[in-house]
Amino acid sequence: MVFHKKITDIIVGCLRRDREQLREAGFIILASIPTALIGLGFKDALESLFENPRAVCVAELFTGLLLFTSQWGPTGAKHPDNEGVKMNWWRALVTGTVQGIACIPGISRSGSTISAMMFMGVNRKYAGEFSFLMSIPAVGGAALLDCIKWIKCQSMTPEKAILDPEKALKCVDAGGFTPELLVGMIVAFIFGIIALKWLMNFVQKGKFQHFAWYVWAVGILGLIFLK
């Protein structure tokens, strides 16, 4: 697993009350607060955007702009010798806010958070690591909420659906756990690890901005062919 040593060091360090690891965990928790507030506060509005493909394409173009301009940040590709500054409380909050905004479909979570940290002068390698680490509570929390929703829906009967049609509709959206879903999760996990290693290589070599051409192409083609 990518960053397994980093994760282990943070967990063990916190148990041993290591000051540096406690500080690292604190930044991750701090970054998760604005993400949770945005994700939960605007959940319905964000989910409705999935039904608007054009909005997703526009968000892709915005992602490309972030990636491309990141090269001019204090630790971007145009400044290869700048080692960058350390993470602090306000940079963690800003990065967490950007992660929350990245709940908008079409905006890359990792792309936007890494770019934001580069704009704030954070070391490129650390930016990639922190972007992954702060995704754990965000993705894990979202998965937990979906799991709870699915469990609650298991008690839904035709009689209850008649009495509470709104809840019944939400249960339809929740879907169910199937073998196909399990296979999809496993495949996504494997290719996610491969993609993450590839991404970190690009970030550390100062080639992060090259991803902009890909997302721009996707966004433009989408706007052209979508009716």
Average pLDDT over residues 75-82: 86
Name the residue among 218, 195, 209, 227 with its Cα closest to residue 105.
218
143 against 106, higher pLDDT: 106
- What is the average pLDDT score of the chain? 84
Confidence at residue 166, expressed as pLDDT on a 0 to 100 scale: 59
Average pLDDT over residues 88-93: 96
Long-range contacts of 24-28, Cβ-Cβ distance < 8 Å, separation of 24 or more = 24/133, 27/87, 27/88, 27/89, 27/92, 27/130, 28/92, 28/130, 28/133, 28/134, 28/136, 28/137
How large a percentage of the chain has pLDDT more than 70? 83
Gyration radius (Cα) of the chain, Å: 20
Alpha-carbon span 6 to 222, nearest angstrom: 38
Q: What is the DSSP string of 23-42?
A: HHHHHHHHHHHHHHHHHHHT
pLDDT at 158 over 70: no
pLDDT at 6 over 90: no
How large a percentage of the chain has pLDDT more than 90? 50
The whole domain housing 46 covers: 4-225
Alpha-carbon span 26 to 154, nearest angstrom: 37
Alpha-carbon span 123 to 204, nearest angstrom: 9
Confidence at residue 162, expressed as pLDDT on a 0 to 100 scale: 54
Span of 99-108, 121-130, 131-140 with lowest mean pLDDT: 131-140
Confidence at residue 160, expressed as pLDDT on a 0 to 100 scale: 55
Per-residue pLDDT band for 191 (boundaries 50, 70, 90) equals confident
Q: Count the domains in the chain.
A: 1
Are the C-beta atoms of 69 and 211 separated by less than 8 Å?
Answer: no
Average pLDDT over residues 127-156: 79
Q: Which two tokens stand for residue 161?
A: 């659906």
